[in-house]
Structure 1
Amino acid sequence: MVMNMPNWLKQRAFLTPDRSALVFNERKWTFSQLFDETCRTADRLYSAGIQKGDYCGVLAANQPETVFTIYALQQIGATAVMLNSRLTTDEIAWQLHDAKAVYLLYDQEHTEKAQLIPSIQSLFITGIETVSTAAEVRHTFSLEETCSIMYTSGTTGRPKGVIQTYGNHYTSAVASALNLGLHSDDTWLCAVPLFHISGYSILMKSVLYGMEVHLMEKFNSKRVNQLLKSGDATMVSVVTAMLSGMLNELEGDYSSRLRCMLLGGGPAPVSILEACKAKRIPVFQTYGMTETASQIVTLAPEDSLGKLGSAGKPLFPCAVKIDGADEGEILVSGPNVTPGYLNRPDVNKQAFQDGWFRTGDIGRLDEDGFLYVLDRRSDLIISGGENIYPAEIESVLTGHPAILEAGVTGVPNDQWGSVPAAFYVNKQPVSEEELIDFCREKLARYKVPAYFVKVDALPRNAANKLLRRELAKQWSEQDED
């Protein structure tokens, strides 16, 4: 049976027209105004030839016009293919071709890149040309219908287009609310990219909850701290690198109105979690991915201190299990899990088994059922037959007072097959001998990095996630020299 729901933004504008919906710098829009701007954008897209069922690439920064465009595609019934702006033109062209996109929608910042992509119609999203035909705004959404496509980072070959249905986004938003609760005066600070599931999901929560979004064009730790100290935001999504920068800049305390700092993007170092605990910052670790339309496991508030380092338990309509007796691959299921990858039946057959999705991540469940994410399966270091998880070593290293951030990868070794190499950014001078002694106090000998490499910055993607494969690449290039 196909389940339909009222058009989300249209319904929200009807229910709470005068409630604040979007804040960007000094500009504000109510839900009624947001719907009006969205409809004008939908008219432009429809007049340009975009129709229901079309796939459209969106290459744009965190700007209000990007928000209008995302919602406008939903009004028409077109699917947004959200494009990572850090990709090369060749990579973007490949994703557009793979998705069979009919249009590329871009903003001022990405004009040059968009115009270098051949064989696709392009449209500037902030144009003011005359509209010849008004779009017919849809009355309902089908929960089985594809809403958005986001491509994985391609760590194991070509990127895969993750299908995200309206039902996936709806369930994700509801599951989050059941865990974190809803307050009538909530404002979610969005300093993560809208093309990433962490940013896109905040927009979906906004219209479903009737919640204000404070949009930032780019992450700035000082500005984020100002907003959290002033009480202008009550919720914020961050990854470890963002939180680390915020803590280094923070003077004083955040406002008591801050009730949730949602921390995703991989296991967080215990040293950072302890620093937040000392400052009474309400950090809730999460585990999720593009394939689960954001979080699928989150640490409930009452367990945030007692289970330090855990990602928590599955959100209410979801389930998690481990493929193994003790630790192994994390498997998930639930209505927020993608129905599959676009045009990849071979991959879908491997990824989905008996109603469970194989995440490719390694984890364990404790005796109370709390999930601890150990690492990406692809990042696992096997040294002399022993499994070594880079995140564990990184957590230890960032506990050293001289280390700002660290990344660990496996490098070839004739005797052991592979050994860990640590790349680090320091806050103050520190010797390799000191780091070795520090690690030996806290890690088994085989886990102590064989090499320490000082760098100015660690490689990260647009969502600030550490790219360990780039560390391995840097090592191989250094080794060749």
Structure 2
Amino acid sequence: MYPNWILRRAYLTPHRTGLTFENESWTFEQIKQISIKRTYQLAGLGINHRQRIAVLGPSKPSLIFIMYACMHLQCEMVMLNRKLSKSELQYQIEDSQVEMVLVEDEDAHLLPANTNHLLFSKILESAEEAVEISEEWPSNQTTTIMYTSGTTGFPKGVRQTVENHQSSAVSSVLNIGLSHDDVWLCAVPLFHISGFSILVRSLLYGNEVKLYQKFDQDGAVRDISEGSVTHMSVVAVILGRILQGLEEKQLKASPRFKVMLPGGGPVPVNYLERAHKLGLAVCQTYGMTETSSQTATLSNADALRKIGSVGKPLFFNQIKILDATSPRTEGEILIRGPHVTPGYIGRFAERSSTINGWLHTGDIGYFDEEGYLYVVDRRSDLIISGGENVYPAEVENVLMGHPAVREAGVCGIEHEVWGQVPVAFVVLKHDVTEEELIAFCKEKLAKYKIPKQFYVVQALPRNASNKLMRRKLKELMN
């Protein structure tokens, strides 16, 4: 059993600021009181202990208080990505078999028709019904469920337990250290593991979260240069914008700012060199939804000495390379530890998340002679666009649903802003315009998953087993 993080933190440091947003702030005691009120209001509307509930909304305090109320009720929270299309959201809602979707009013239009939902405004207006709030949570209790695209084209609902989140947070703090006045700037979505893990760290560490509804370049540059924040999680494209902003304003990172933690793909060498000149400590990380955020991190001291590495496994985590017997031998990256998901839900509920205790990531990497991990290829077919994962199979499935498309192949090409963007190669049954294909994709895919270019080809490259060889698709561009 582990303590209820919200109650325990409010008991330990009730008057310490736990959250700021725009011009408002809340202490941990206030956060507790509001979350308990929301718990009672949800109970008054028929939301019971341990139900599976989906939540959807922008990164605002109102979303945090609703999520904390669900945690008090020990509900399993399905974290819906507000960037998805109605079709994608419908799949997740149906696959997870949630009993209710709790949605911020401004996002209600994102839901598919006939979705069973409660608006935040209705929750705030409802009568309260006192219910028991446990002071302890079982370690194996599922706290969150986040969907990650799968190589089959069907997203998988990944379970993250109390122990998963807590182990991840403890491993992280053993690596980066802790001060009572640390402030984490959160400009990543709360429905992502990167965003939610910041909230978990705040409750466990007793640190303030400065929340942005969305990334604000000028605000981040100001906060980092003035030292009003000490930590920030980013993807490479956001790091690039911060570096640009600091350079344009001829500013440097405040000595009080401790570390920038980029994830979601490799950081360009140029970024690391520029950050070093600006006094901005950058620690590249490696992790995924199945590992409840970071599983390895490169220290800032090694950033330039070990360019391209994602560092060493965090304290409680183990990483090995499948079948590797010596340094620099490439193979699949396997991960083991208390931060690894116990499994999936929905159509993948019967699939084990591990083999003999090890999570098979599908990523290819190697260790050097000093034990530093290098990721050579993040899931060979995976496209990482602005930190978002795009699986070609998912996009191909949508394209082949168009009556004019006989076959489709998707791969990523380099992009100076987003790192990578998807492009599509299609074999047609009859003529169709690019505009028609884009409009079709918009109905079923998030914007970042829509191919930025379409190439009409006579045939797709396939091997003897008729399997699509995506790595050869780029050759068709010439």
TM-score by length of 1: 0.79
For residue 267 of structure 2, what is the amino acid of its counterpart?
A
Query: Displacement of 1:201 after TM fit?
Result: 0.3
Task: Give the partner amino acid of 2:215.
Answer: F
C-alpha distance 466-308 of structure 1, shift in aligned 2 (>3 A): farther
Which whole-Å CA distance do the structure 2 matches of 1:419 and 1:74 have between them?
A: 39
**2:317 matches 1:321:** no
The one-letter code matched in structure 2 to 1:340 is G
Aligned to 2:136: 140
The 8 Å contact of residues 297 and 311 in structure 1, kept in 2 or not, is answered as yes
Q: Which runs of 5+ in 1 are unaligned?
A: 381-389, 395-406, 410-417, 427-464
1:333 counterpart = 2:336: yes
Counterparts of 2:107 and 2:411 in 1: how far apart (Å)? 38
Once the two structures are TM-superposed, the CA of residue 146 in structure 1 deviates from its matched residue by: 0.5
Aligned-partner SS, 1:169: helix
Shift of 1:270: 1.2
User: Out of 68, 73, 80, which is 2:70 matched to?
Assistant: 73
Greater Cα shift, 100-109 or 210-219? 100-109
1:476 offset after TM fit, Å? 3.3
C-alpha contact 2:272 2:304 (8 A) present in aligned 1: no
Residue 46 of structure 1 aligns to a residue in which SS? Answer: helix
> 1:254 deviation in Å?
1.3
| Contact kept? 1:193, 1:199, Cα under 8 Å | yes
Instruction: For residues 263-309 of structure 1, give each alpha carbon's deviation from its aligned partner in whole angstroms, at most 9, with x where no partner exists.
Output: 11111111111111222210000000100000000113443332122
Mark the CA change 1:419 to 1:71 in structure 2 (over 3 Å): closer, same or farther: closer
Partner of 2:7: 10
Contact kept? 1:283, 1:304, Cα under 8 Å: yes
1:35 is matched with which residue: 32, 37, 61?
Answer: 32
Question: Structure 1 residue 184: deviation in Å?
Answer: 1.0
SS in 1 for 2:453: helix
Preserved CA contact (<8 Å) 2:53 2:76? yes
CA contact (8 A) 1:180 1:301 kept: no
2:391 matched to 1:373? no
Partner of 1:348: 351
Deviation at 1:166, TM superposition (A): 0.3
Identify the match of residue 145 of structure 2 among 137, 149, 157.
149
Structure 2 regions of 5+ residues with no counterpart?
Answer: 393-408, 418-445, 460-476
User: Are 1:107 and 1:126, in contact at CA under 8 Å, matched by a contact in 2?
Assistant: no
- Pairing partner for 1:364 from 360, 363, 366: 366
Which position in structure 2 is the counterpart of 1:271? Answer: 270
Q: Deviations over 1:374-429 (max 9, x none)?
A: 2222328xxxxxxxxx99xx9xxxxxxxxxxxx9x9xxxxxxxx999845448xxx
> Counterparts in 2 of 1:56-455, with a 5 A limit?
56-114=53-111, 116-124=112-120, 127-154=123-150, 156-250=152-246, 251=249, 252-325=251-324, 326-344=329-347, 348-349=351-352, 351-379=353-381, 422-425=413-416
Select between 231-240 and 264-273 the one with higher mean Cα deviation. 264-273
Is the contact between residue 230 and residue 255 of structure 1 (CA under 8 Å) also seen in structure 2? yes
Identity %: 43
Equivalent of residue 52 in structure 2, options 51, 55, 63:
55
Q: Secondary structure at the match of 1:171?
A: helix
Matched-pair contact (CA < 8 Å) for 2:272–2:303: no
Q: CA 1:347 to 1:374, structure 2 compared with 1: closer, same or farther past 3 Å?
A: farther
* CA offsets 1:192-243 (integer angstroms, 9 cap, x no match): 0000000000000011000100000000111111111111100000110001
Q: CA-atom RMSD, angstroms?
A: 2.7
Q: Please list the CA deviations of residues 318-375 of structure 1 after superposition, one character each: whole Å capped at 9, or x if unmatched.
A: 11111244112111010000001113557734x5211100111121111111111122
**CA 1:228/1:356 → structure 2, altered by over 3 Å: closer, same or farther?**
same
Alpha-carbon separation, structure 2, partners of 1:144 and 1:163: 10
Q: TM-score, normalised by structure 2?
A: 0.79
Q: 1:377 to 1:470 in 2, by over 3 A?
A: farther
Query: How much has 1:46 moved relative to structure 2?
Result: 1.1
Q: Distance in 2 between matches of 1:424 and 1:152?
A: 23
Number of corresponding residues: 404
> Is contact 1:266–1:373 with CA below 8 Å preserved after alignment?
no
Letter in 1 for 2:169: A
Partner of 1:459: none
Rate the CA distance shift 1:83–1:330 in 2: closer, same or farther, 3 A. same
Provide the C-alpha distance between the structure 2 equivalents of 1:264 and 1:206, rounded to a whole number of angstroms: 19
Residues of 2 paired with 1:477 and 1:232: CA distance?
Answer: 52
In structure 2, the residue matched to 1:402 is: none
* Letter paired with 2:46: G
Which deviates further from its counterpart, 301-310 or 4-13? 301-310
Code of the aligned partner of 1:34: I
Deviation at 1:41, TM superposition (A): 1.0
Q: Which amino acid aligns with 2:39?
A: A
Q: Structure 1: which amino acid aligns with 2:107?
A: H
| Aligned residue in 2 for 1:476 | 455
Contact 1:90–1:117 (CA under 8 A) maintained in structure 2: no
Shift of the 67–126 alpha-carbon distance from structure 1 to 2, 3 Å rule, reads: farther
Change (3 A) 1:478 1:68: farther
1:118-142 Cα deviation digits (max 9, x unpaired): 2524333564324141232221111
